[in-house]
Amino acid sequence: MQIPKDQILSLLKGQGDDAKAQQAESELPDTVDTDEHAGLLSKLGLNPAELIAKLGGGAGGGIAGKLGL
C-alpha cells in the first residue's frame, strides 16, 4: 500500500516523537510503499501492518475511510 510521507510524519509528531519524525522526513520518499520500504519503516520503529491499519483504512477507518476509499 502507498502512503504519503506527510501522513507518516503527522502520525509520528502526533505521538510526540519529533526525533523519528525528523529522521523520517530525511529518509523516506514522498510516497511510501509499505512493502518496498518495510526496512525503512522498521528502522523508524513502524510496523507496516500497523501503519496500514492506522492510516490505510484498517478496522479503525484510517485516512482511506475518511476519503471514501
* Other C-beta atoms lying within 10 Å of the C-beta of residue 11: 19
Residue 32: Cβ-neighbour burial (10 angstroms; 0-12, 13-18, 19+): buried
Model pLDDT, residue 55:
81
Q: Give the separation between CA 8 and CA 15, rounded to whole angstroms.
A: 11
2: left (phi over 0), alpha (psi -120 to 50) or beta: beta
Model pLDDT, residue 19:
93
- Digitized pLDDT (tens) for each residue of the chain, 69 residues in all: 899 999 999 999 998 989 999 999 999 999 999 999 999 999 999 999 988 888 875 444 455 444 444
Confidence (pTM):
0.76
